[in-house]
Amino acid sequence: MLLYELDFRPSDLGLVLQEFWRDRVAPPEVRTFSEALVRGVAEKTTELDGVIQANAAHWSLARIAPVERNILRLAAYELLYRDDIPERVAINEAIELAKLYGSEESGAFVNGILDQIRLHLHPQPHSPA
């Protein structure tokens, strides 16, 4: 929800966070973790968008729905910058979010792009013929 809103109000990070937490109760560690992810994605959006674009065959970033675009940004951030989050966890959580908040095809779409990103992070050696 926070990343989706920031897609439309990118210069208002502090205000968006303040408004989000105004009516929500969360343990301090949840709030700290959540804000770290949101701030990280916000700081790296341009780079993350480039990685997503490079791995989204035949899709421009503008054609990707805002929900899926922000799920991809979050998962790509976790894959690239968060060693404390296992790759499979980042990808599986993104797929579940896409299924929950996106269209019927969103889970498979997000999975395909994130799997390509993961493969580019860890290229497989070619076996000899």
Region 115-121 average pLDDT: 92
Cα 27 to Cα 2, 23, 32, 71: the distances in Å are 17, 13, 9, 23
Query: Which tens digits make up the pLDDT trace of 40-51?
Result: 999 999 999 999
> Mean pLDDT in the chain?
92
Region 57-70 average pLDDT: 92
Which pTM was predicted?
0.90
Task: Please report the domains of the chain, with CATH numbers, ordered by start residue.
Answer: 2-121 (1.10.940.10)
At 126, is the pLDDT very low, low, confident or very high (cuts 50, 70, 90)?
A: low
Q: pLDDT at position 117, please?
A: 96
Q: Is the model's pLDDT at 32 over the cut of 90?
A: yes
Q: pLDDT at position 8, please?
A: 86
**Calpha distance 30→36 (Å, rounded):** 10
**Calpha distance 103→71 (Å, rounded):** 13
Q: Is the model's pLDDT at 127 over the cut of 60?
A: no
At 129, is the pLDDT very low, low, confident or very high (cuts 50, 70, 90)?
A: low
Q: pLDDT at position 122, please?
A: 76
